[in-house]
Amino acid sequence: MMPEISLNILDVAENSVRAKAALIEITVSVKTKEDTLTVIIRDDGCGMTADQVKRAQDPFFTTRTTRIVGLGLAFFKQAAESTGGTFSIDSEKGIGTIVKAVFILSHIDRMPLGDISSTIHTLVVFNEQIDFKYTYEYDDKSFSLDTREMREMLGDEISFMEPEVSLFIWEYLDNNKQETDGGADI
């Protein structure tokens, strides 16, 4: 079991990386009035057939060959559903996949969101060949990070791994999250 929602996001987004996505969109949306925390991970990777979607939620299914269990999506599904929330996977072969998990915010079994800024930072910096669009919403406020916009401003030569760029990405994510949710304990 993952201790934080943000680690589930990192794990599930790695599926999109392996699915050879060109663009991965991640949305984390906290709605205090509706009492929900919604996570949407959408990619334009290789997608799955209806049968694979069904099996992907089975812990004893994986496409990898190094072990016979694949707990990533099963963990995420269980984490959401154990709060009374919902979980869905929509996928089409050759088009892409959308994973959506809704958590009930105030439920005692909801794990903390955790260090979402580090998760997004890790994904962006270590997968430079993939475009990411991350959106964080807290009630009426929101901010986003789009690596395509970043590339436009930074040019093609400078790597996201350069210390100054990497630090900027982290500060951008962390500061803007603070301003968006006012430092709320989620």
Kindly list the residues in this chain that would bind another protein in the complex (CB under 8 A). 1-3, 7, 10-11, 14, 18, 64, 66-67, 70-72, 75, 118-119, 121-122, 125-126, 143, 145, 149-150, 153-155, 157-159, 161-166, 168, 171-172, 175-176, 179
Number of H helices, E strands in the chain: 6, 6
Residue 108 CB, nearest approach to another protein (Å): 21
Parallel/antiparallel/unpaired status of strands 36-43 and 23-31: antiparallel
- Report in angstroms how near the CB of residue 53 gets to another protein at its nearest: 18
Using the minimum distance from each CB to another protein, give the nearer residue, 33 or 153.
153
Smallest gap from residue 67 Cβ to another protein (A): 6
Q: How far is CA 174 from CA 2, 75, 141, in A?
A: 22, 26, 15
Specify the residue, 9 or 105, whose C-beta has the smaller distance to another protein: 9
Q: Which is nearer to another protein, 82 or 166 (CB)?
A: 166
101 vs 145, beta carbon nearer another protein? 145
Give the chain's end-to-end CA distance (angstroms, integer).
19
> Minimal distance in Å, beta carbon 115 to another protein?
8
Distances (CA, A) of 88 to 2, 42, 65, 81: 19, 12, 25, 10
Beta carbon of residue 75, minimum distance to another protein (angstroms, whole number): 7
Give me the helix-helix angle, 116-126 and 5-18, nearest 10°: 20
Q: Cα-flanking dihedrals φ and ψ of residue 181, to 5°?
A: -105, 5
For residue 77, the minimal CB distance to another protein (Å) is 13
Nearer to another protein, 105 or 116 (CB): 116
Is residue 48 classed exposed, middle or buried when 0-12, 13-18 and 19+ CB atoms within 10 A define those classes?
A: buried
**Residue 34 or residue 149: which is nearer to another protein going by CB?**
149
Type of residue at 34: E
